[in-house]
A and B are shown apart, each in its own frame.
Chain A
Amino acid sequence: MNAVLETQNLSKAFGGLVATNDVSFKLPAGARHALIGPNGAGKTTLVNLLTGVLQPTSGRILLKGEDITSLPSYQRVKRGLARTFQINQLFAELTPLQHIVLAISEREGAATGWWRPVGSRSDIVDEAEALLRQLTLTDVRDQRTETIAYGKQRLLEIAVALAAKPAVLLLDEPAAGVPETERHQILDVIAALPAEVTLLLIEHDMQLVFRFAKTISVLVNGGLFVEGPAAEIARDERVKKVYLGEEAVNV
């Protein structure tokens, strides 16, 4: 198995509190993997370690075989690890089109051009338009982002990450806070993501997890509790006990 993203004995302690405890996993190219766990299980810390917001106490992170453990966030993105945020991190005053043009320009090394105006590279504009169309954002293309519907903002969050053409896309609760009526849009977009992109889904919402994830890791108290194919995890009595409590699961 050729892992595109791998962690080896990854640990993070905040003083005496061990937030990530000896986590090792491998994601093959094109994986549809979900990371689940109860509140306080250490999901956020693990995401922050993977994306370079935090430095691990010990252990390594490999992206396409390369050790990225000590690289800053932006270098990891350059190497193909993009993410979305649980809480939208967008530019309130810019339009969706500007978001995407900027992300593509950065990827193409054109974001430091300081003489020719934004929009003069037609290849970048065309690609941005195509991506906005793919994510059903064409109708809000030129509106200030703070004024568009929350569900659309969640889609833009995904679009910005996709503009980097990542090998691995880390989706941090992509449907969080989206009203029920707009949820299907998010689900459809995730379902249509290119197969070669490796997806790591950090999610609370079991409906979403079981719809997309082929494999699942369950995180408890900072450590990997169990991992395996989605169907097995769904049947696992121990998982039901620690994670799902009394709630019944229908898959």
Chain B
Amino acid sequence: MSLLLSYFRPDTSTAAGTLLAPAHWRPVEILFWLLAASLFWLAPSKVLLLNEIAILALFVLSLDLILGYAGIVSLGHGAFFGLGAYVAGLLGKHGFTDPILGLFVAGAAAGLLGFVTSFLLLRGSDLTKLMVTLGVALILRELANKFSNITGGADGLTGVTIGPVLGLFDFDIFGKTAYAYSLTVLFILFYVARRLVNSPYGLLLRAIKGNSLRTGAMGVPTNRRLVQIYTIAAVYAGIAGALLAQTSQFVSLDVLDFHRSADALLILVLGGSGHLWGAVIGSIAFKFMYDYLAAITPQYWQFWLGLVLVLIVLFGRGGILGFVQKARDWLAYRKGSAR
């Protein structure tokens, strides 16, 4: 028991302790995953929505890896999501129905596209990056539209068959398997991303974001690192897209729509970038806001979303998690001065 407690209270009196502290899991993080898993039993009527949230969170998480950590701005991250969705869908349509295999192939395809296009981002300003990423996504969407004999074009890709997960769990119409499957994949990839961002490699990414002139002067091959993380993030996004295709057994051109890339950026700002958790919390907040606001004012829900976004950018830099952090700092300050 005391060993457990000491894990949650890392010793920050030493240099190694302060460095290691962020890698320690906080109780609230563990609580979150337990809660997310328990919703499978507690809220069976909501699992379809929860499945969507899990997929969205994974997609936004992948954007956080490049934007929040490495500082690469993108307006076309949906390209990888869409490619992953189509690859997984096409596999299912053509007899390769194993979902796990589908995830791997979709991730690899998206990663390859990420690797190739990353070289376009190494030169130029943020504006150039925004335009290049946007351009790549637009090209991909038009290709999917044009090659309708493969993709189904505007009618969408139908006849996608997905086998049971691990040969055991069939996808049901209520979405229970879908949620368990997506949540498990999200958790595993979140765990890996969490290891990565707390490792020397993650510190290096933050350093590159902070000042790439200095990382170069430290001997870091900065461009190579940017290519790597962009590729990794593309794999993540591709897997998120594959999850959507597999759990809905349908792919439409919508997966490559501009709004996906824009939403991801918006959600990341809403939740707070550079946290990993910002992507998760942002996705939850976004989906619930959507559900709640769209129910009251179906036509104008984007008005309220826009308003929240403007307020956050103006007053709450750091998004929801930034706000939480500020509130905690303020409480700690009050506690300190009361003493």
Where the two chains meet, the residues of A that have a C-beta atom closer than 8 Å to any C-beta of B are 51, 72-75, 77-78, 82-83, 85, 89-95, 97-98, 101-103, 105-107, 110-120, 122, 125, 128-129, 141-142, 160-161, 163-164
Contacts and interface: CB of A to CB of B under 8 A. Distances in A.
B162 to A, nearest CB: 31
Interface in B19-76: 19-20, 22-23
Interface string B242-258: 00000000000000000
Contact of B18 (A89, A92, A105, A142): A142
Contacts of A163: 218
Interface of B: 12, 15-20, 22-23, 195-196, 198-204, 206-207, 210-211, 213-214, 216-222
A249 B220 CA distance: 42
14 contacts: A72-B221, A74-B218, A91-B211, A92-B211, A101-B19, A106-B204, A106-B220, A113-B201, A114-B195, A116-B199, A117-B23, A117-B199, A119-B15, A142-B18
B200 A125 contact: no
A110 B200 contact: yes
From A74, A163, A164, residue with most partner B Cβ within 10 Å? A74
A117 B22 CA distance: 9
B219 A118 contact: no
A98 B18 CA distance: 10
Given A91-B206, A106-B218, A125 B15 contact: yes
A97 B19 contact: yes
A118 B15 contact: no
B201 A114 contact: yes
B216 A74 contact: yes
Nearest to A107: B219
A171 B200 CA distance: 27
A141 B17 CA distance: 12
Nearest to A99: B207
A101 to B, nearest CB: 7
Contact of B19 (A91, A93, A98, A112): A98
Nearest to A128: B15
Contact of B200 (A51, A118, A161): A118
Most buried by B among A82, A122, A125: A125
B218 A119 contact: no
B206 A141 contact: no
A95 to B, nearest CB: 8
Contact of A111 (B12, B18, B201, B213): B201
B15 A73 contact: no
A118 B15 CA distance: 11
Nearest to A73: B216
B190 to A, nearest CB: 15
Contacts of B211: 89-92
Given A91-B207, A112-B201, A114-B199, A160 B218 contact: yes
A91 B20 contact: no
Contacts of A118: 19-20, 23, 198-200, 202-203
A114 B219 contact: no
